[in-house]
Structure 1
Amino acid sequence: MQGRTLLSARWVIGHRKGRHVVYENGVVVIEETEVLHVGAGFEGEVARRIDYGEAVISPGFIDLDALSDLDTTILGFDNGPAWKKGRVWPESYIARGPYEMYDPEELAFQKRHAFAQLIRNGITTALPIASLFYRAWGETVAEFEASAKAAEDLGLRVYLGPAYRTGGQVTDEAGNIRAAFDEPRGLAGLEQAVEFARGIDGTANGRIRAMFAPDRIETCTERLLRRTAEIASEMGAPVRQHCSQSPVEVRLVREQHGCAPIEWLNRIGALRPNWLLPHGTQATEAEFDLIAEGKATLVHCPLVAARHGGMLKSFPRARASGINIGLGTDTHPADMILNMQIGMMTARLAEGIQAIRSEDMFDAATLGGARALNRADLGRLAPGAKADIAVIDLSRTLQTPDPVQTLMTSASGRDVRDVFIDGRQVMSDGIIPDVDAVEDAARAQAQFDGLIAKYPDRTAGHPPVSQIFTPSYERVAP
């Protein structure tokens, strides 16, 4: 009884008999790290009561592809093609030797800053993702040790593992993109990731778990992926493998292996239930069937795909084939509500308005992520589940008669008010303890500006920044 907290609001999204349910004027009772009770009322004694009024108390979102750096994909929003704009390493950059464009302190700050952004958007469980374009090769154990400390301090539930690869995309000055490999370097990165995984798994009272993050499928050799599959299965850890996300990737995989990306994963025995596969926008129906047969998870990242003219074709079709679908943010802002909204729109563009309803996308952001991680205690508010909760303020928006439909039509990540993870209140009224949002935003911008200044080094032909990123309108000097 001591320490129980009762939360109440106009809307509570609970869970029973395998499905989310909605309680109007409902309550959630937290005891230590778990949900004790969800329903219309509670007769027991509590130590603290918080009434949120016109709000929805929701299970925290699960982000299977959670942005953990300063997102460089936004630089390509109006600037392409990618090979001309520093998104593919030129041969001249390879010749001089790729280098780290951020120092260790900057990388550590970025993880902490990104984790705070996830919490602000109601994301309570995250599998971090960062670009390797500005790295010397892969991510380092040192930065992930720092990220583990940041996650523990902030209270975020995370699955951590440094990204590694055996190759990378390279372009000549005519835009001919190929893959260049260094398998020994990649295998060494895997072994470092294994050592990190075995040391980190289950720390922070179980909030920090291990994951494996081989990078894009066209930059990974068979030996790397087979070894990853074996170790991850042995540890019961998830593996995230980016695939079926671009025409260039599909071409390179066909050149390397004579088949499509998902077909290759299946052929080498890597398409397993613990594999999480962003993004699937280039996948065929046959590949969807293989994902379903392998019981892998498709990680849908609607916002980043739509920004670059792509979409999943389609969410309803993939779901109908039996695929478990989770969601990822993968870009700035880390707004899961916005991703659900874009996911709804693109699914209806692909299949029609009757093909998907709001609860289907909400399930992906909660239950789909929990299934991907084999965690029946996440993604739902029910007795015995982890007390991972997002409180979303609806007092300043036009509400429909249903809270989930209101989230899809009128809300955003900025409406997240309070967040609880493992029963701990990690954000209150938009404030995260020991985080100065204004100061951190300025620090992040300064680091991002410094990275942009280095873009000519890794851009084909090495043009100045002003030619890489063209302005929307003419800049007029004062």
Structure 2
Amino acid sequence: MEGRTLLSARWVIGHQGGRHVVHEHGVVVIEGCDVLHVGSGFEGEVARRIDYGEAVISPGFVDLDALSDLDTTILGYDNGPAWKKGRVWPESYIARGPYEMYRPEELAFQKRHAFAQLIRNGITTALPIASLFYRAWGETVAEFDAAATAAEDLGLRVYLGPAYRTGGQVTDATGNIRAVFDEARGLAGLTEAADFAQRIDGTAEGRIRAMFAPDRIETCTETLLNRTAEIASEMGAPVRQHCSQSSVELRLVREQHGCAPIEWLHRIGALRGNWLLPHGTQATDAEFDLIANAGATLVHCPLVAARHGGMLKSFPKARAKGITIGLGTDTHPADMILNMQIGMMMARVSDGMEAIRSEEMFDAATLGGADALNRPDLGRLAPGTKADIAVIDLRQTLQTPDPVQTLMTSASGRDVRDVWIDGRQVMADGVIPGVDAAADATRAQAQFDRLIAKYPDRTAGHPPVSEIFTPSYERATP
């Protein structure tokens, strides 16, 4: 009974009989790092009570593709095609030698800053993702040691592993994109990632676990993926492999292997139950069958896909095949509520109004991610589960009669008020201990501006920044 905390609110999303349930005027009792009780009341003694009033006490969101840098995809929102705008390395950049566009201390800062943003949006478990376009090749163990320190300090539950690859994309001056490979460099990256995984798995009282992150499928060789599959299977760690997300990827994989991306993973024996597959927007019906048969997870990232004219075809169909579907934010802002809303809209555009209900998308943001990680103690609030909780304030929101439908229609990540992870209150009234939000935002913007200034180095033809990123309207003169 010592140290028990009772949380109450108008709405509590608990879990019974294998599915979420809603308690109106409910309570959640935390004891240590776990949930002790969920229901309409509690008769036992508690040390502290917090009444959130008009709010939703929700299981924390599980983000399987969580932004962990300063998102460069937003620069492509009105600026394309990608090969002309620095999203594909030009041959001249390769010739001079790719270099790190951020200093080590900047890489460490952006992980910590991104982790704080995840917490602000009610994300309690995260698998970080970052762009490799501005990197010399892959991510480094040093920056992930810094990421582990930041996660432990902030209290975020994470699965960590530096991204590695055996190849990259290169464009000529006319937009012909090809793959270039350095398998030895990629395999060395895998070795470093495996050593890191063994060292950090289970640290921070179990909140930090290992994962493996081979980069995009068109930049990975069969040897790299098969070795990854074996090492990860031995450790019981998840593998995240981005695939079926662009027409360029489809062309390159077909040129390299004579088949579609997920089909290739299946052919080489790498597609397994611990594999997490963002984004699937280019996947065929037959590939969805392969995912289902392997027991792998489809990681749906609706916001970033819709921004660039893409969509999953479709969430209802993949779900009907029995595929585990989790969600990833994969872009700025790391707003899982907005992500769910866009996912709902795009699924209905694809399959019609009756094809999906709010609870199915909410399941993906909570239970789907937890199931993908084989973590029945996450993504739900029930006795014995981890006390990973997001409190979403509805005082300024027009509420429907149902809290989940209200989240889908009227709320946003900015409404997240408090966050608890492993029984620790990591954010209270929007404040994260030890984080100066205003100072960090200023530092992040300055860092991002310096990166933008370097874009001509890695853009075909090396045009000035003003030509790479054209303004919405002509700049007014004084």
Q: TM-score range by the shorter chain?
A: over 0.9
Match of 1:213 in 2: 213
Match of 2:421 in 1: 421
Match of 1:55 in 2: 55
Q: Which amino acid aligns with 2:69?
A: D
Q: Which amino acid aligns with 1:389?
A: I
Match of 2:259 in 1: 259
How far did residue 476 of structure 1 move?
1.5
Match of 1:241 in 2: 241
Match of 1:179 in 2: 179
Q: Map 1:142-291 to 2 at 5 A.
A: 142-291=142-291
Separation in structure 2 between the aligned mates of residue 286 and residue 394 of structure 1, nearest angstrom: 42
Q: Map 1:70-469 to 2 at 5 A.
A: 70-469=70-469
Q: Secondary structure at the match of 1:26?
A: strand
How far did residue 338 of structure 1 move?
0.2
Separation in structure 2 between the aligned mates of residue 164 and residue 5 of structure 1, nearest angstrom: 42
Separation in structure 2 between the aligned mates of residue 389 and residue 290 of structure 1, nearest angstrom: 34
Per-residue displacement from partner, 1:96-153 (whole Å, max 9, x unpaired)?
Answer: 0000000000000000000000000000000000000000000000000000000000
Per-residue displacement from partner, 1:294-338 (whole Å, max 9, x unpaired)?
Answer: 000000000000000000000000000110000000000000000
Q: Secondary structure at the match of 1:218?
A: helix
Per-residue displacement from partner, 1:199-256 (whole Å, max 9, x unpaired)?
Answer: 0000000000000000000000000000000000000000000000000000000000
How far did residue 8 of structure 1 move?
0.1
Separation in structure 2 between the aligned mates of residue 241 and residue 116 of structure 1, nearest angstrom: 25
Separation in structure 2 between the aligned mates of residue 417 and residue 272 of structure 1, nearest angstrom: 38
How far did residue 477 of structure 1 move?
2.6
Match of 2:5 in 1: 5
Q: Which amino acid aligns with 2:51?
A: D
Q: Secondary structure at the match of 1:205?
A: coil
Q: Secondary structure at the match of 1:37?
A: strand
Q: Which amino acid aligns with 1:275?
A: W
Separation in structure 1 between the aligned mates of residue 287 and residue 226 of structure 2, nearest angstrom: 19
Separation in structure 1 between the aligned mates of residue 266 and residue 137 of structure 2, nearest angstrom: 27
Separation in structure 2 between the aligned mates of residue 416 and residue 331 of structure 1, nearest angstrom: 18
Per-residue displacement from partner, 1:407-442 (whole Å, max 9, x unpaired)?
Answer: 000000000000000000000000000100000000
Q: Secondary structure at the match of 1:127?
A: strand
How far did residue 455 of structure 1 move?
0.2
Gaps of 5+ in 2: none
Separation in structure 1 between the aligned mates of residue 148 and residue 421 of structure 2, nearest angstrom: 16
Q: Secondary structure at the match of 2:397?
A: coil
Separation in structure 1 between the aligned mates of residue 454 and residue 161 of structure 2, nearest angstrom: 27
Instruction: Count residues with an aligned counterpart.
Output: 478
Separation in structure 2 between the aligned mates of residue 305 and residue 168 of structure 1, nearest angstrom: 21
Q: Secondary structure at the match of 2:404?
A: helix
How far did residue 168 of structure 1 move?
0.4
Separation in structure 1 between the aligned mates of residue 17 and residue 462 of structure 2, nearest angstrom: 59
RMSD: 0.3
How far did residue 372 of structure 1 move?
0.3
Q: Are residue 22 (structure 1) and residue 22 (structure 2) matched?
A: yes
Q: Which amino acid aligns with 1:27?
A: V
Separation in structure 2 between the aligned mates of residue 151 and residue 469 of structure 1, nearest angstrom: 34
Separation in structure 1 between the aligned mates of residue 9 and residue 143 of structure 2, nearest angstrom: 40
TM-score in terms of structure 1 length: 1.00
Q: Which amino acid aligns with 1:169?
A: Q
Separation in structure 1 between the aligned mates of residue 269 and residue 31 of structure 2, nearest angstrom: 43
Separation in structure 2 between the aligned mates of residue 333 and residue 219 of structure 1, nearest angstrom: 27
Give the fraction of aligned pairs with identical amino acids, expressed as a percent: 87
Separation in structure 1 between the aligned mates of residue 28 and residue 189 of structure 2, nearest angstrom: 44
Q: Secondary structure at the match of 2:49?
A: strand
